[in-house]
């Protein structure tokens, strides 16, 4: 028996003729609707979909009535008899413009994908709210103290407060930049502005910056002499290194070690910590959106951006164990002329 080509489709398909009787269904639709043989039955009896008010799909949309210029029914959310959400879309076919409907084609898709997207959006909103609240609270508190007690504060106190406000403002700017880059990665609109860059110089700047706020954690940089230049967007490269180093400081223990080396085609950047490491079963998940590990979890976007930005430059990123314990994250960057 030949296989119906419609059965190869991932969505459920129901076709009805001019009299409202079903002419074709595929296996996905029959499974969703809980019917064995729908051909010849009224569309209203087969398409047993209800909305939250208990209305049936056919009664609510009246596919054979309405304006003669109508060509379809936009995507809608409906419930199957077992309560599962499906997303439907319909096309209305006419033999001639302005003529009666001669065919109705309805597709049904599981609503789980949309539910997952909704959860991701909720996670994003919660993450943004949490991450923005902390530095904003600090900025507001210190600014209010400066305004109310300016004459009573000495210069050192004023400098400390203004420095803290500056640090928190930088943190806010970085978070906003990360959110924008996440959106650009997700939509394929990320723009890079690559130029020949010195990886050692850029990495050293990151180390010096992070070390100012992580004074209790030594950070060591070991760079191979005479490293070749890499053609990268220096801002994005700096963002990758910053996320890796800050992640190692936040989640690891002991000394954070950074190594830069090169071979004939690649410059390799390795960041290691002396913590507990990342279990093997979790290593495929660390570069996914909103993955968080350890007690001091950040936004859950840092390593997702690392993976996306490194790959956008034609490089690779991997997670392994450091020799003395802890996590080792290795990124590779093509030499200048190898970047495409």
User: CATH topology of 11-110 equal to that of 114-187?
Assistant: no
Q: pLDDT at residue 213 above 80?
A: no
Cβ atoms of residues 107 and 87 within 8 Å: no
- Residue 274 has what pLDDT? 83
pTM over 0.75: no
Q: Are strands 327-334 and 195-197 parallel, antiparallel or unpaired?
A: unpaired
Q: How far is CA 218 from the centre of its chain?
A: 32
Lowest-pLDDT range of 39-53, 103-117, 213-227, 284-298: 284-298
Q: What is the pLDDT of residues 260-316, one digit of tens each?
A: 999 988 999 999 988 777 878 778 778 877 666 655 556 677 888 899 999 999 999
> What backbone torsions phi and psi does residue 143 show, to the nearest 5 degrees?
-65, -40
Q: Which residue has the higher pLDDT, 169 or 93?
A: 93
- Residue 167 has what pLDDT? 81
| Fold (CATH) for 114-187 | Helix Hairpins (1.10.287)
Q: Which residue has the higher pLDDT, 320 or 286?
A: 320
Lowest-pLDDT range of 123-137, 198-212, 243-257: 123-137
- Residue 336 has what pLDDT? 62
Lowest-pLDDT range of 26-30, 78-82, 205-209: 78-82
- Residue 151, helix vs strand vs coil: helix
Number of residues that this document lists for the chain: 340
Distance CA 227, CA 317 (A): 19
Cβ atoms of residues 273 and 253 within 8 Å: yes
- Residue 212, helix vs strand vs coil: helix
Domains of the chain, residue spans: 11-110, 114-187, 195-338
- Residue 330 has what pLDDT? 95
Q: pLDDT at residue 49 above 60?
A: yes
Nearest residue to 16 via CA among 37, 34, 43: 43
CATH of segment(s) 195-338:
3.30.565.10
CATH architecture under which domain 11-110 falls: 2-Layer Sandwich (3.30)
Taking residues 66-73, report their average pLDDT: 90
- What is the band of 57 on the pLDDT scale with cuts at 50, 70, 90? very high
């Amino acid at each position: 028996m030949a296989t119906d080509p419609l059965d190869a489709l991932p969505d459920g398909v129901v076709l009805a003729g001019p009299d409202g009787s079903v002419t074709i269904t595929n296996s996905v639709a029959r499974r969703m609707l809980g019917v064995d043989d729908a051909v010849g039955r009224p569309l209203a009896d087969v398409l047993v979909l209800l909305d939250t008010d208990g209305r049936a799909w056919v009664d609510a949309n009246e596919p054979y009535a309405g304006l003669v210029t109508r060509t379809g029914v936009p995507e809608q959310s409906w419930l199957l008899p077992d309560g599962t959400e499906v997303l439907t879309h319909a096309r209305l076919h006419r033999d001639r413009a302005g003529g009666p409907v001669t065919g109705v084609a309805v597709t049904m898709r599981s609503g789980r994908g949309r539910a997952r997207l909704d959860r991701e959006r909720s996670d994003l909103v919660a993450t943004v709210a949490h991450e923005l609240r902390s530095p904003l609270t600090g900025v507001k508190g210190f600014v209010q103290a400066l305004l109310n007690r300016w004459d009573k504060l000495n210069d050192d106190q004023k400098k400390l407060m203004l420095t803290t406000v500056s640090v928190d403002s930088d943190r806010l700017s970085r978070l906003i930049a990360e959110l924008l880059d996440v959106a650009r990665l997700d939509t394929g609109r990320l723009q890079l502005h690559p130029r020949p860059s010195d990886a050692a110089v850029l990495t050293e700047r990151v180390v010096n910056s992070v070390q100012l706020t992580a004074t209790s954690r030594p950070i060591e940089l070991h760079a191979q002499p005479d490293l070749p230049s890499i053609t990268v967007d220096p801002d994005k490269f700096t963002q990758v290194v910053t996320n890796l180093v800050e992640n190692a400081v936040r989640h690891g223990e002991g000394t954070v070690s950074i190594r830069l080396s090169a071979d004939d085609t690649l410059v390799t950047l390795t960041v290691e910590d002396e913590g507990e490491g990342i279990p093997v079963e979790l290593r495929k998940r660390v570069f996914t959106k909103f993955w968080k590990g350890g007690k001091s979890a950040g936004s859950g976007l840092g390593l997702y951006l690392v993976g996306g930005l490194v790959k956008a430059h034609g490089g690779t990123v991997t997670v392994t164990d450091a020799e003395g314990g802890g996590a080792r994250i290795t990124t590779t960057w093509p030499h200048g002329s190898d970047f495409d």
